[in-house]
Amino acid sequence: MKLTFKLLLIFICFGVWSCEPTEVGVVDDYKKPDPARLETLKNDIQIHVRELANQIYEVEYVRGAGGENSKAIQFITWDFGNGRTSKLEKDTIYYIEPGSYNITFNGYTYDGELSKKVADVEATETLWCAIGKRVSMDNFDEEAGFAGKWVNKNKNDTPLFDEYHVDDATAYQFPTGNNVLLIGKSGGWWTEAAYDFSDETFDFSKDGMWRKVALRFYIPNTFEVPEGNFDFNIPESYLNLKIGLNDGSGRQEIERKIKVSELGQWVDVEFDFSDTNFDQVDPKKIKSIWFMFTHNWDNDRGAGRDGTGVIMIDDIELIQKVPGCGI
C-alpha cells in the first residue's frame, strides 16, 4: 500500500513538472519567473511592423530569427490598441477610426510573460475603404437620399406608416412619434414593399460602387391598431427578412433569419452583396430595392395562411465600395 502511494506521488509530481503554459497564462508552479531571462528574450526576438498603406499595418513575429530558441515562446498575442487582438504570428490590422494607438506584442514563456510595445500609430481619418462609406437612402424623417417612391407589391400591404389610415382623414401614428417604414398586412405569406428609383440605376457588381444595404428593424411582439391585432407569438423558424435587388426583369435576394430574442427591440443589420453570384439580375442596372418579410408558415396548410405581421424599418443606407486602401 505504501509503495503504491509513493508511486502515485511520483506520478503526480512528474505530471506537474511536465505541464506547459496555457493560453490563460504561465503555470505558476512550473518555474518561478526569471526577469533577467525575459529581458534577454525580449531584446532577442525579431518583430516586424510594416505600414502597407495609410492606417493599415502588417505585424509579424519571426520565430527564432533573433537567435532565441524557436520554442522559447509557446504562444503569442497582439494587442492593437483599438479593441482588437490576434493570436496569429503574422496578421494585418486596419485602423478605421481616427486616434492614437499602440501595438503591443505579448509572449508567454516558461520564465513568465513578456510584453513589448512595438509601434505607435496615428490615424488621422476614417478609413472608408475598409468599411465602405454609408449613404442614407431613407431615414423617413427627411427627404429620401435618392429620388423615387415607395410602392406596395401586394395590394394588402401597408408600405409607409404615415400612410396607414384607419379612416379617410387621420393616419395612425407610430407610438414613439417617429416616422418609419412599416410593412404589414393581415394574412398572406411574404409582406413586401419596394423603393423604385426614379432616375438612377445602381451598380452592385464586383467592379461597381455599391456593395451593401444596411438598416434597422423592429418587430413588436404584438402590435395593435384599430383594425386588427398583429400577433407575433410564433416560432422563431417562421421569421425571415429578405432584401432584393431588382433590375426590372428579376430579383437577387439575400435572406436573414430573425431570432425570437430580437423581437421588441431595434436591431442593426447589413445585407452584403459583395460576393453574390448574380444569376437573377444584371447587377449593374439595379432600379429598385425590395424589402420582404415573412411571418408565418404552417406545415399542414402552407405558407402564411393564418399569419399576420408587422415589421418596422428605419435608417436605410446604401454602403459603397470605396477604393484607396492600396493593398
pLDDT one-digit tens code per residue, 278-309: 999 999 999 999 998 876 544 443 443 333 46
pLDDT score for 228:
47
| Whole-angstrom distance, CA of residue 171 vs CA of residue 182 | 13
Beta pairing partners, 255: 242
Banded pLDDT at 185 (limits 50, 70, 90): low
Q: Is the pLDDT of residue 46 over 80?
A: yes
Place of cell 445585407: 271
pLDDT score for 19:
46
Model confidence over 19-40: pLDDT tens digits?
444 444 444 444 567 788 888 8
For the full predicted model, state whether its pTM sits above 0.85. no
The x, y and z cell numbers of residue 72, run together, are: 522559447
DSSP string of 219-234, one letter each residue: --SEEEETTEEEE--S
Q: What is the C-alpha radius of gyration for the chain, rounded to an integer number of angstroms?
A: 29
Cα 179 from chain centroid?
A: 26
Domains in the chain: ranges and CATH: 21-127 (2.60.40.10), 132-320 (2.60.120.260)
Model confidence over 237-249: pLDDT tens digits?
567 889 999 999 9
Give, for 4, the enclosing helix (H) or strand (E). Answer: helix 2-18
For 118, the 3-state DSSP assignment is strand
pLDDT score for 238:
65
